[in-house]
Amino acid sequence: MSKSPNTDQIAYWNSEAGTRWAVLQERLDAQFADLTDAALDHAGPRAGDRVLDVGCGCGATVLALAGRVGPRGTVVGVDVSRPMLDVAAQRVRAGQLPGVTLLLADASTHPFEPGAFDLAFSRFGVMFFDDPVQAFANIRRPLAGGGRLSFACWRRMSENPFFLVPFVAAKPYLPPQPPADPEAPGPFAFADEDRVGRILNAAGFSAIEVVRHDPMIRLGGAAAAADLATQMGPVARLLAEAEAGVKAAAQAAILEEFTRHEGPDGILLPGSVWLVSARA
């Protein structure tokens, strides 16, 4: 019997990985703050808009969207991760935002109300679908006529020193890996802009635009950055089953490399993303 869509990803984001993101929420929000602003500026949410935030995680984008659509607008944040959505719920309550709703669900299959949204937005929340065409078709259905889609996704690791520097430093300690499938669900699944266009076109979107954006990402001090690199991201995934000593050795190697990049304001490394927009 075939398994339900996105079973592996749902299990992953409700495991220790989701809990780590929840614990590290403040550090991650700070790290991606400038990039988040760029993604929101590109999406252009308007006062009064009804927005669906796909893969809203711990709520940083939900809060920012609520601020942009104002009291006449609404935001529905959807995510599969209970630990992360619990953090988002705490932040929404603290912000007293009656126009915000949070939904523990899979955006690729959830039966959203037709015409319920003017904008579907995501910051790094759409690269993990088993069947991306089906997922985006489901996200398109609740968009009102002419509704907009806008999301940010990572370009290749080789074009992201933010990811590449710690990966190269840790590589001697990482377990052997088979050749990666560039289209497998994961952070770099949408690195190929042509693939992104094919997926969105097949899902029924039009006026598709894919724009490159190369932000500088602030990682803080070398020690904190090395610690974060072994808890989150590609290196952390590959070290998940490693012994404590191996993890410590990888972290020491990353710390040594990050120290070379540290300046008076900490570590700044380039990132590279696609800012994608389309019409329903």
Confidence of residue 1 (pLDDT cuts 50, 70, 90): very low
The Cα–Cα gap between 95 and 90 comes to 9
CA atoms within 13 A on the CB side of 32: 20
Q: Check residue 99 and give its pLDDT.
A: 96
Domain 7-279 in CATH 3.40.50.850? The answer is: no
Contacts of 177 (CB under 8 A, 6+ apart): 238
pLDDT digits 0-9 by tens, 67-125: 999 999 999 999 999 999 999 999 999 999 999 999 999 999 999 999 999 999 999 99
Question: Which pLDDT value is given to residue 3?
Answer: 60
* Res 145: pLDDT: 86
H helical segments located in the chain: 7-13, 16-23, 25-31, 33-43, 60-69, 82-95, 132-140, 161-170, 193-202, 222-229, 233-238, 244-261
Separation between Cα atoms, residue 236 and residue 183, nearest integer Å: 20
pLDDT at 178 over 90: no
Q: What is the pLDDT of residues 237-254, one digit of tens each?
A: 888 888 889 889 999 999
On average, the pLDDT of the chain sits at 94
**pTM above threshold 0.85:** yes
Residue 204 pLDDT greater than 80, yes or no: yes
Q: Sign (positive/negative) of CA torsion 243, 245, 249, 252?
A: positive
Domain assignments of the chain as residue spans, ordered by start: 7-279
